[in-house]
Amino acid sequence: MTKWIKLHNSGDFDVVTAISMMGASVKTCDNPIGLYGSGIKYAMAQCLRHNISLKVADNGKLYTLAGQDKEFRGEQFVNVALKTKTGKMHVTGITSDFGQEDWNDPWFVFREFYSNMLDEKGTLEIVDGVQVSETGVDVFLPYAIFEEYVENLEDYFATKCWKMKSGSGRVYKRGVWVGTLATDPGLDFQADTVEITETRTMNQDSAWKRLISEIEEWYPVVALTEILKRKDCWNLLSRLWISERGTKALNQALVSVFGKNYILCPNVDWIVKDAEEVYGRTPVILPDDWTIPKSGLQTMADIAGNIIFRDATKEEAAIITKAIKALAWMNDVPKRNGERYPLSLSDMQIKVLKTDENCGGLAKTGTPEIGINSKVITGDYQELVQTIMHECIHAITGEGDYTRGFPAFMERALASMSV
């Protein structure tokens, strides 16, 4: 026996009149899925074109979808009709060509009839044979053709009480799936303002714009987290506007994806290398054209400006003083043009790192403040001298490890000692 999908609602509804009207909706529920009554007509025409069986019952009276030939200006057409058990035909003005250019997916048929059932607060059941109810409206669809949608309803229909959640790029409007984003951002979302085509499927560009607007409206951590997980979606980041209020959510998302030691870096090799090897952080290189507030996020500039120092102990100070004396020659190194640097070795304020930054030493950019790891101070003396020299060159020249000005200082120092 043939299995059918039975969609039932208890409303008082004149099916014959309804199929003859276009652009009218008489649904009594708030915020219905369907609005203009055209979707069912498209679906009926599609069923007729594709030989999909369709039966409708109105208060126990059963009708079967049928077609009636009609000639118009020398052309042959097939009009959509409903046929009673006695063979009487109720013919509409709609032909089987209605929507033939793009209404060709079985999903469209199921979506229209199931959505109508939801609007009418009806029920779905799988039945063996056509079992007509005495009251209300029944729609019968062949189970074999629409099995995918019935067995996976949660993928195609959703409640209307959520906006965004982890998912696979599925987009919903009024609780109905209208398409999937071409690139998976790890999110499902729904918005009544997503633009849809005549087939009630979404416009891709409109869906992306709507997703961006939804994120900018309330900065959901889940959305930012899922996008950060997928580099093929990072082009989306450059289209997002993150306000000062949104940085808290962005920071949470960055920590979730990259860990609490993440650090935002420009796409410069030596800075990225320093972030990882010198500071022991996880470098994150975001799209260059994504403008985001700096406050509330961990950046390379913040590290250099927020190093916590402590004063050296008496024992540590004695070792540092000895090392500074060994480096006295640094006071005499001139700039390339013979001028003096604004800072010299004698200006340096050598202290001890109060926290473990996983490095031998750090220099505060643009200042004479230098911090040395306590383990280096009390460890190998040659390593200590080398570390202080290295950090002092940073402070004196204002140069980074991999810029030309850093080795140039040492070249001039060696040249001065050689003449």
pLDDT digits (tens, 9 = 90+) for 201-225: 999 999 999 999 999 999 999 999 9
Set out the domains of the chain in order of their start, with CATH numbers.
Answer: 3-156 (no CATH), 158-233 (no CATH), 242-304 (no CATH), 309-418 (3.30.2010.10)
Mean pLDDT of 117-128: 93
Mean pLDDT of 362-375: 83
Residues 6 or more apart in contact with residue 45 via CB below 8 angstroms: 80, 94, 95, 96, 97, 98, 99, 100, 103
CA 38, 175, 137: angle at the middle one, nearest 5? 50
Mean pLDDT of 138-145: 96
pLDDT the model gives residue 88: 92
pLDDT the model gives residue 264: 92
Could you give the angle at which helices 405-418 and 381-397 cross, rounded to 10 degrees?
110
pLDDT surpassing 90 at residue 362:
no
pLDDT surpassing 80 at residue 124:
yes
- % of the chain surpassing 70 pLDDT: 91
Chain centroid, CA 253 distance in Å: 11
Q: What is the dihedral of CA 55, 58, 61, 66, to 10 degrees?
A: -30
Of 70 and 23, the structure prediction assigns the larger pLDDT to 70
pLDDT the model gives residue 261: 92
Mean pLDDT of 78-103: 91
- pLDDT per residue as tens digits for the range 281-321: 899 999 988 988 878 899 876 665 566 678 899 999 999 99
Tell me 331's DSSP state.
Answer: G
C-alpha distances in angstroms, 169 versus 55, 78, 178? 35, 39, 11
pLDDT the model gives residue 413: 84
pLDDT surpassing 60 at residue 21:
no
pTM metric for this prediction: 0.71
Lowest mean pLDDT among 171-185, 248-262, 281-295: 281-295
DSSP, collapsed to helix, strand or coil, labels residue 55 as: strand
The confidence band for 339, taking pLDDT boundaries of 50, 70 and 90, is confident
pLDDT surpassing 50 at residue 168:
yes
State how far the Cα of 294 lies from the Cα of 275, in Å rounded to an integer: 17
DSSP, collapsed to helix, strand or coil, labels residue 419 as: coil
State how far the Cα of 319 lies from the Cα of 391, in Å rounded to an integer: 16
The structure tokens listed for 361 are: 């030493």
CA 214, 215, 217: angle at the middle one, nearest 5? 65
pLDDT the model gives residue 419: 67
- pLDDT per residue as tens digits for the range 55-66: 999 998 999 999
- pLDDT per residue as tens digits for the range 380-418: 999 999 999 998 888 888 887 777 888 888 888 888 777
DSSP 118-151: HHTT-EEEEEES----SSSEEEEEEHHHHHHHHH
DSSP 72-88: ETTEEEEEEEEEETT--
pLDDT surpassing 60 at residue 357:
no
pLDDT the model gives residue 355: 64
pLDDT surpassing 50 at residue 35:
no
Q: What is the dihedral of CA 311, 316, 319, 322, to 10 degrees?
A: 20
- % of the chain surpassing 90 pLDDT: 53
The confidence band for 113, taking pLDDT boundaries of 50, 70 and 90, is very high
Least Cα distance to 217 among 177, 179, 296, 163 occurs for 163
pLDDT surpassing 70 at residue 36:
no
The span from the first CA to the last CA of the chain, in angstroms, equals 105
Q: Is 145 exposed, middle or buried (0-12, 13-18, 19+ CB in 10 A)?
A: middle
Q: Which H helix or E strand runs over 8?
A: strand 3-9
Of 15 and 305, the structure prediction assigns the larger pLDDT to 15
pLDDT the model gives residue 342: 85
State how far the Cα of 111 lies from the Cα of 109, in Å rounded to an integer: 5
Of 269 and 69, the structure prediction assigns the larger pLDDT to 69
How confident is the prediction for the chain on average, in pLDDT?
87
Mean pLDDT of 245-255: 94
Q: Beta 282-284 vs 262-264: how paired, if at all?
A: parallel
State how far the Cα of 9 lies from the Cα of 192, in Å rounded to an integer: 25
Strands of the sheet with 164-166, listed across from one edge: 164-166, 187-190, 170-173, 176-180
Torsion sign (Cα): 382, 385, 389, 390: positive
